[in-house]
Amino acid sequence: MKFNSLHHYSALRPQAGTSSLWLVFWSISVGMFWGAPSHAQVQVQAQAQTQTLAATKPTVKSVKPPQLKVLHEGRDVIWGFDFLSENEVVLTERKGELKILRLDVPTSQASRVIRVEGAPKVWAKGQGGLLDVRVHPEKKNWIYLTYSAPLAKGGATALGLGRIEREAKGARLVEWRELFRSDAGGTSGVHFGSRIEFRREANAWWLYMSIGDRDERDLAQSLKAHNGKILRLNLEGRAGSDNPFAGQAQAHAEIWSLGHRSPQGLARNPTTDELWMAEMGPRGGDELNLVKRGANYGWPKLTYGREYWGPSIGEGATQAGFESPVAHWVPSISPSGMAWVSSDKIPAWKGSLLMGTLSGTHVRRLVLKGAQVSQQEVLFADQGQRFRALREGPDGWMYFATDAGLLGRIE
């Protein structure tokens, strides 16, 4: 399968003839920053047993191989995107740019891409910068952004809301407000999170956002810190009074679940209304989780991963009182953005969960029966792309974004 574009992109890898010592150093470095290499096995928790599925030998294969059609070629990581309308995509570039891609304008015209002025300043270091973007579920042209907000030293994951106002020669983000700033700050350039998802509950919309452990792993188990948590906020950025730890002494009321490491995938199943999350482990131990109210997912006390230099982490993989992953991968594939397929544009995919991977450099299709993965398919592994984000468009097609700055459609 090849890109329907003028260019073919490949991932950065060591060249032939590189010394073996340098290869070892390169492998460890890439694993620490991006996740361990691909060629993984997925192990699926099924009651008291562990089902193992080989990632390199898919258990299911699409009858008609899908293709990737590139619609935009940028120069920076496209961390997140959403649809303002059927023909307009708002996207974030990690270094801090906010843009609108006009799909109905020819690629030859400069007006196809509009730079949105007034985006918040970000601390663009390592994995930090301008992160996810989601369109307000009720207000047209209003968008939420997550980003690493600059501190006196370092940055902290934050959430803000603003309105896109069109101008004669572009667009501007106005009425901008930072709604929430986490205490997960510091100078480390890793594990910021931070995906956004909405869910309507009891006639009100709620916003969920993920925050990584910021390389302070023990804080993922503390209710006094936002590190390593899924948060539940109202649309004004305030904690729900019915959140599991609201009113509890020395606990942040915003916390919905805890014990996460680097959660970069968050998606609501439109059929069941369940919230699903994917997070990166260290050297192995990437997880697919069903997010539950007040649940503890174990990191760093429990994990299927290991330290990058070999030793085990914590007290094992499972333990009573902690939530086990629905699926985990050893070695890592580095799961990122994911999306459920609700349309029948590709009939065999309807109801599947698509997950982008970074070090795995593929899109993985998961078929679930209840809370168990029954089949999987590895897609586009020949493209060498780090698939950062996925989203189903208003037209029913699935769209993707990559770290190479590509935004496109799966057809």
| Residues annotated as catalytic (active site), given as ranges | 191
- The sheet carrying 78-85 orders its strands as 78-85, 88-93, 98-102, 113-117, 170-186, 155-167, 142-150, 130-135
Dist. CA 353–CA 351, nearest whole Å: 7
Dist. CA 17–CA 66, nearest whole Å: 35
Write the burial class of residue 50 (CB in 10 Å: 0-12 exposed, 13-18 middle, 19+ buried). middle
Q: How do strand 68-73 and strand 3-4 relate by DSSP bridges?
A: parallel
CB within 8 Å of 168: residues ≥ 6 apart: none
Strand partners of residue 356: 363
**Angle, CA of 199, 200 and 203, to the nearest 5°:** 165
Question: Please, are residues 246 and 239 in contact by the beta-carbon 8 Å criterion?
Answer: yes
Q: How do strand 229-234 and strand 335-340 relate by DSSP bridges?
A: unpaired
